[in-house]
């Protein structure tokens, strides 16, 4: 599935407090309709999330997260043809989601919050995204201190890969994510994007990048709120594709599909004599 073509992952938030207000869907029927629209817009896979991970977000229990996501996954059975991902760091939520048809677990914590999650993924034969993160959403900026940014990010993601393989997740089932906007100041997020090829080469795994609408874009976009940062997001998506991303996680799917296809052409020709 992962090759020369960069895949577009559409975001489906089923939470009342996502930072991107116009992409919140709490009713399962409305969420299912939104997922169908995301697929029709050109998404290659859809990431379903039941807990906001925006800076300062309050945590929710596994029971609440399951109550938000499982009915949506049930509603999507037979109505969506692209793969579904569950955006969770909780083993219990992942287990329930995988039982309802999800095939990928997208863990922002890199297995640091709930290590048994790795065994759940291994037992299900699912794929796993391990992302770079420090702390939790309400404390992560306190830990955004780096002496050697890209080296530290690589080392910490490598540790997450080791934890996953120790629990039985095959290396070939893993995708890595440098964690744009997570435990990183704006300069760190731009720095990671600028050196994404180095990150990818060091870890030798497919790379997912989630640059869409995040706060690191605020100043460069003239202080615009999240829902108005799609032009800025397009620039970051282009940089991600040129840096070798295999998957980009975005909100404005139809627009970013065009951005990705153009960036892919530039990337393809950059390797020709």
13 — alpha (psi -120 to 50), left (phi > 0) or beta? beta
Residue 174 and residue 271: Cα distance in Å, rounded?
26
CA torsion angle 186 20 198 137 (round to 10):
70
Residue 250 and residue 239: Cα distance in Å, rounded?
14
196 and 240 in contact (C-beta within 8 Å)? yes
User: Do the domain assignments include residue 203?
Assistant: yes
Residue 249 annotated among the catalytic residues of the structure = yes
User: Do the domain assignments include residue 261?
Assistant: yes
User: Do the domain assignments include residue 188?
Assistant: yes
User: Do the domain assignments include residue 181?
Assistant: yes
What length is written for the chain?
273
Residue 84 and residue 99: Cα distance in Å, rounded?
12
Claim: this prediction has a pTM higher than 0.75: yes
Question: What was the pLDDT predicted at 179?
Answer: 98
pLDDT at residue 18 above 90? no
pLDDT at residue 4 above 50? yes
Residue 253 neighbours by CB under 8 Å, 6+ apart: 8, 10, 38, 41, 42, 43
Residue 124 and residue 70: Cα distance in Å, rounded?
17
Say how many domains are in the chain: 1
Question: What was the pLDDT predicted at 2?
Answer: 64
User: Do the domain assignments include residue 223?
Assistant: yes
User: Do the domain assignments include residue 2?
Assistant: no
- Average pLDDT for residues 202-221, to the nearest whole number? 97
pLDDT digits (tens, 9 = 90+) for 106-152: 999 999 999 999 999 999 999 999 999 999 988 899 999 999 999 99
Residue 214 annotated among the catalytic residues of the structure = yes
Phi and psi dihedrals of 173, rounded to 5? -95, 5
User: Do the domain assignments include residue 1?
Assistant: no
In this structure, the strands spanning 84-87 and 208-209 are unpaired
- Average pLDDT for residues 164-190, to the nearest whole number? 98
Say which of 249, 261, 267, 268 is annotated catalytic. Answer: 249
Structural domain for 148, as ranges: 7-270
CATH number at residue 130: 3.20.20.20
Question: What was the pLDDT predicted at 102?
Answer: 97
| Closest to 49 measured CA to CA, from 6, 18, 92, 9 | 18
159 and 131 in contact (C-beta within 8 Å)? no
Confidence of residue 182 (pLDDT cuts 50, 70, 90): very high
Q: Which residues pair with 127 in a beta bridge?
A: 104
pLDDT digits (tens, 9 = 90+) for 24-81: 566 888 888 999 999 999 999 999 999 988 776 778 999 999 999 999 999 998 899 9
Say which of 205, 214, 229, 267 is annotated catalytic. Answer: 214
Between CA 194 and CA 206, with CA 200 as vertex, the angle to 5 degrees is 125
């Amino acid at each position: 599935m992962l090759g020369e073509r960069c895949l577009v992952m559409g975001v489906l938030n089923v939470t009342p407090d996502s930072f991107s207000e116009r992409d919140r869907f709490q009713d399962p029927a409305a969420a299912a309709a939104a997922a169908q629209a995301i697929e029709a817009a050109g998404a290659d896979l859809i990431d379903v999330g039941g807990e906001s991970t925006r800076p300062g977000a309050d945590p929710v229990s596994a029971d609440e997260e399951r109550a938000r996501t499982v009915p949506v996954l049930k509603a999507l059975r037979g109505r969506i043809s692209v793969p579904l991902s569950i955006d969770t760091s909780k083993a219990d939520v992942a287990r329930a989601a995988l039982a309802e048809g999800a095939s990928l677990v997208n863990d922002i914590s890199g297995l640091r919050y709930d290590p048994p999650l790795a065994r759940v993924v291994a037992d299900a034969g699912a794929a796993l995204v391990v992302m770079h993160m420090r702390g939790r959403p309400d404390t992560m900026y306190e830990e955004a201190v780096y002496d050697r940014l890209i080296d530290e990010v690589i080392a910490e993601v490598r540790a997450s890969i080791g934890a996953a393989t120790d629990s039985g997740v095959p290396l070939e089932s893993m995708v890595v994510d440098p964690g744009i906007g997570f435990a990183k100041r704006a300069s760190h997020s731009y720095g990671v994007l600028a050196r994404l090829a180095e990150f990818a080469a060091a870890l030798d795994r497919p790379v997912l990048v989630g640059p869409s609408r995040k706060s690191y874009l605020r100043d460069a976009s003239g202080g615009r709120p999240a829902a108005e940062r799609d032009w800025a997001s397009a620039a970051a998506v282009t940089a991600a594709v040129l840096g070798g991303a295999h998957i980009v996680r975005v909100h404005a799917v139809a627009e970013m599909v065009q951005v990705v296809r153009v960036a892919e052409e530039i990337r393809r020709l950059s390797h020709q004599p």
